[in-house]
Structure 1
Amino acid sequence: MEPKPKKLLDQVRDAIRLKNYAYSTEKAYADWIERFIRFHKLTHPREMNSPQIETFLTHLAVKQNVAPSTQNQALSALLFLYRNVLHIELTGHIDAVRAQRDKRLPVVLTKTETQQVITQMSGLHQMMAKLLYGSGIRLMECLRLRVKDIEFERCQLMIRDTKGNENRVTLLPQSIIPLLNQHLLQIKQLHQADLADGYGLVELPFALARKYPNAEREWYWQYIFPSENLSVDPRSKVVRRHHLDPSGLQKAVRRAATNADINKHVTPHIFRHCFATHLLEAGYDIRTVQELLGHKDVKTTQIYTHVLNKGPLGVRSPLD
Structure 2
Amino acid sequence: MLSVRQTIRVQHLSLRTEQAYLKWILHFIRFHKNQHPDQMGASEIRTYLNWLADQQQVAASTQNQALAALIFLYRHVIKREIGPIDGIHFVKKPPRAPTVLSREEVKRIIAFLDGDDSLITRLLYGCGLRLLEALQLRIMHLDFDNRSIIVFNAKGSKDRRVPLPDSLQAPLREQIERVRLMHQADLQLGLGAVWLPEAYARKYQSGNRDFKWQFLFPMSRVSEDPVSGKTYRHHLLASTFQRRLADAIRQSGITKRASSHTSRHSYATHLLEMGYDIRTVQELMGHVDVRTTMIYTHVIQASNRLVKSPLDW
TM-score by length of 1: 0.93
Corresponding residue for 2:184?
A: 192
Corresponding residue for 1:32?
A: 24
User: Are 2:49 and 1:53 equivalent residues in the alignment?
Assistant: no
CA distance in 2, matches of 1:33, 1:122: 41
User: Paired residues, what number?
Assistant: 310
Alpha-carbon deviation of 1:257?
1.4
Corresponding residue for 2:194?
A: 202
Equivalent residues of 1:107, 1:273 under 8 A apart = yes
Larger displacement relative to structure 2 (294-303 or 151-160): 151-160
CA distance in 2, matches of 1:95, 1:293: 35
Corresponding residue for 1:178?
A: 170
Deviations 1:164-193 (A, max 9, x none): 111111121110110110111011111111
Equivalent residues of 1:305, 1:313 under 8 A apart = no
Corresponding residue for 2:147?
A: 155
Seen in structure 2, the aligned counterparts of structure 1 residues 318 and 226 have a Cα distance that, compared at 3 Å, is closer
CA distance in 2, matches of 1:58, 1:172: 46
User: Are 2:3 and 1:18 equivalent residues in the alignment?
Assistant: no
CA distance in 2, matches of 1:173, 1:20: 33
Written as runs of structure 1 = structure 2, the 5 A alignment for 1:52-91 is: 52-91=44-83
CA distance in 1, matches of 2:252, 2:31: 46
User: Are 2:108 and 1:121 equivalent residues in the alignment?
Assistant: no
* Alignment RMSD: 1.5
1:112 to 104, 110, 113: 104
Seen in structure 2, the aligned counterparts of structure 1 residues 40 and 54 have a Cα distance that, compared at 3 Å, is same
Corresponding residue for 2:94?
A: 102
CA distance in 1, matches of 2:83, 2:124: 44
2:271 to 270, 275, 279: 279
CA distance in 2, matches of 1:266, 1:231: 31
CA distance in 1, matches of 2:218, 2:58: 34
Structure 1 segments of 4+ aligned residues over 6 angstroms from their partners: none
CA distance in 1, matches of 2:116, 2:274: 28
Corresponding residue for 1:312?
A: 302
Seen in structure 2, the aligned counterparts of structure 1 residues 92 and 307 have a Cα distance that, compared at 3 Å, is closer
CA distance in 2, matches of 1:70, 1:14: 24
Secondary structure at 1:192 match in 2: helix
TM-score by length of 2: 0.95
Alpha-carbon deviation of 1:154?
1.2
Secondary structure at 1:207 match in 2: helix
Corresponding residue for 1:132?
A: 124
Alpha-carbon deviation of 1:275?
0.3
CA distance in 2, matches of 1:267, 1:175: 23
Q: Percent identity?
A: 42
Secondary structure at 1:160 match in 2: strand
Corresponding residue for 1:5?
A: none
Deviations 1:222-253 (A, max 9, x none): 11111111100000000111110112221222
Deviations 1:288-313 (A, max 9, x none): 001000001111011111222xx517
Equivalent residues of 1:49, 1:91 under 8 A apart = no
Deviations 1:197-242 (A, max 9, x none): 1111111113222222111111111111111111000000001111
Alpha-carbon deviation of 1:318?
8.3
CA distance in 1, matches of 2:236, 2:308: 50
CA distance in 1, matches of 2:96, 2:304: 17
Seen in structure 2, the aligned counterparts of structure 1 residues 189 and 100 have a Cα distance that, compared at 3 Å, is same
Corresponding residue for 2:254?
A: 262
Seen in structure 2, the aligned counterparts of structure 1 residues 316 and 99 have a Cα distance that, compared at 3 Å, is closer
Secondary structure at 2:149 match in 1: strand
